[in-house]
Amino acid sequence: MAMTNDYGAFIEKSTISPTPSSSFPSLKGLTFAIKDIFDVKGRVTGFGNPDWLRTHSAATSTAPVVSSLLEAGATSLGITIMDEMAYSINGENAHYGTPVNPVAADRVPGGSSSGSAVAVGAGLVDFSIGTDTGGSVRVPASYCGIFGFRPSHGVVSTVGVTPLSQSFDTVGWFARDTATLKRVGCVLLQQPDLNVTEPSQLIIADDCFKLCSVPHDLLVQPLVRSVDKSFRGNTVINKVDLGEYIEENVPSLKHFMTSETQQEFCIPSLMALSSSMRMLQRYEFKMNHGEWVLSVKPVFGPGISERIEEAMRVSDEKIDLCRLVKTELLTALSTLLGENGVLVIPTVPGPPPHLQADVVALESFRSRAFSLLSITGVSGFCQVSIPLGLHENLPISVSLVAKHGSDGFLLSLVDSLSKFM
C-alpha cells in the first residue's frame, strides 16, 4: 500500500544505488522515482493493478531507460503508484490510493504517471520517469505544477516497459526546473551536447486556446515575452487556426467525423483526431492484454473497468485508417512548423478537476483534453508542458510542440526561455 507520509506517491520505497559508467553528462547526486510500469530486475512490475501483480513473474532484467539513469549516477528512491493499466489521465487508483496533488490537495494529480509527478512536485525526488501514451506525462505535469517532457515517438527506448499501445507509447520525465529536465534528456536521448537554437517561428494555435477555461493572455503572454527577451525580438510570431489547417491537410480524418465531433465548444477535426487515436489505442490494448483480461477476469476500478470493456469490443474495421491519419498528420504538421518552428498550445483545458468528480460532468473536459493531447499523440512530435504558476490558486501551464526528432532543440529552448519566465 502507498505510504501516507510521502503524499502517497510511492507504492514501494527502496533505494537502487547508481552504477556509474556513462560518458554522458553525469546525474550524480540526483534522486529519481520510477513508475510501476518499468521492469526492475528481481521485482514484479505491477502495472497499477493487484491482479496483474499476482499473475506475473519478477522481471529478469532492468529496463534500459532505468539502467541508463543509474549508469549516469542517479539514485532511485522507489517505485511510484500509477493508474491501472496506464489507462487514465486522472491519477486515481481504486486499489492503491490516489497520490496527493502537492499544489491542490482537493484535486486529482493527473495520470497515469500520478505518483511520479507527485514525487517531483512534492520535492521527494529531483526527477522521475513515467510513460505518456495519451497524455500520461503531460497531464500530471500540468496538474502538479512541474515540467513534463514527452519525447518524439520511438526516440527513447520502451524495452522493458509494459505496453499500453505501441503506436503512441513513449517514455517521458518530470522535473521542477529546466536544468534538471535537460540533464535527464541528455542521458535518455543520448545527446551529450544540447545547444540553444533560435526558433524560426512561434506558431500560436489560437483556436486551441478557446477550448481552455484559463484566460488566453495568462498562458500566451509570458511565453511571448520570454521569447522576445531570449532572442531580442527576432523570432517571428504567427497565429494559426489549427483545427482548420488539420481538417484541410489530413484527408483521412473525414472517416472519423461524426455528429459527436460537431458539438458546441469543440474543434471538429481535433475531436476526430482524438477519436482515431483512442480507437487505435483500444485495439492495441486488446491485442496486448485482451487474452489476460479474459483469462484472469481482473477487478478494475471505476472508469477503468468501462474503458477496458470498450477496448475488448473494438474491431479492426478502421485500424488501417487510424494509421493513415498518423502518417498524414506527421506530414502536415512538419510542413506547418518548417525548420525549427514551434507550436504553442494549452497542455490541458484548465486546472485539475476535483477528486472523485462525477464522470458525466467530466465528459466535456475529457473531450477537450484529448482533442489537445491528440495533436502530439498522433503526430509523434515532442512536447514540453511548462508550469506558469497559479491562477485562482490552481496550477496552470502551456505547452510547446516541436517536430519529430527535435527533442534536443525543444529541451534547450525551454531551458533558455525559463530564465525570463
- Residue positions annotated with a catalytic role: 35, 112, 136
Cell of 130: 513515467
Phi, then psi, of 247 in degrees rounded to 5: -60, -40
**Bond from prior residue into 112 cis (ω within 30 degrees of 0):** yes
Give the pairing type, strands 127-132 and 170-175. Answer: antiparallel
DSSP state of 59: P
Give every CB contact of residue 414 below 8 A, 6+ residues apart in sequence: 147, 178, 181, 384, 386, 400
Give every CB contact of residue 5 below 8 A, 6+ residues apart in sequence: none
Residues in a beta bridge with 202: 237, 342
Give the pairing type, strands 147-150 and 127-132. Answer: unpaired
Cell of 55: 499473475
Question: In the β-sheet with 382-391, what is the strand arrangement from edge to edge?
Answer: 10-12, 75-80, 31-35, 127-132, 170-175, 147-150, 382-391, 394-402, 341-345, 201-205, 236-240
Distance in angstroms (rounded) separating the CA atoms of residues 282 and 293: 13
Instruction: Report the half-sphere exposure of 52 (CA within 13 A, side-chain side).
Output: 21
Distance in angstroms (rounded) separating the CA atoms of residues 214 and 236: 25
Ramachandran region of residue 386, left (φ > 0), alpha (ψ -120 to 50) or beta?
beta
Distance in angstroms (rounded) separating the CA atoms of residues 29 and 316: 48
Distance in angstroms (rounded) separating the CA atoms of residues 121 and 102: 6
Give every CB contact of residue 269 below 8 A, 6+ residues apart in sequence: 243, 244, 246, 247, 250, 253, 257, 261
Return the C-alpha torsion angle 230, 236, 241, 243, nearest 10.
-60
Distance in angstroms (rounded) separating the CA atoms of residues 242 and 246: 6
User: What distances in angstroms separate CA 339 from CA 44, 58, 200, 202, 401, one per listed residue?
Assistant: 44, 45, 7, 11, 13
Which amino acid is present at 81?
I
DSSP state of 16: B
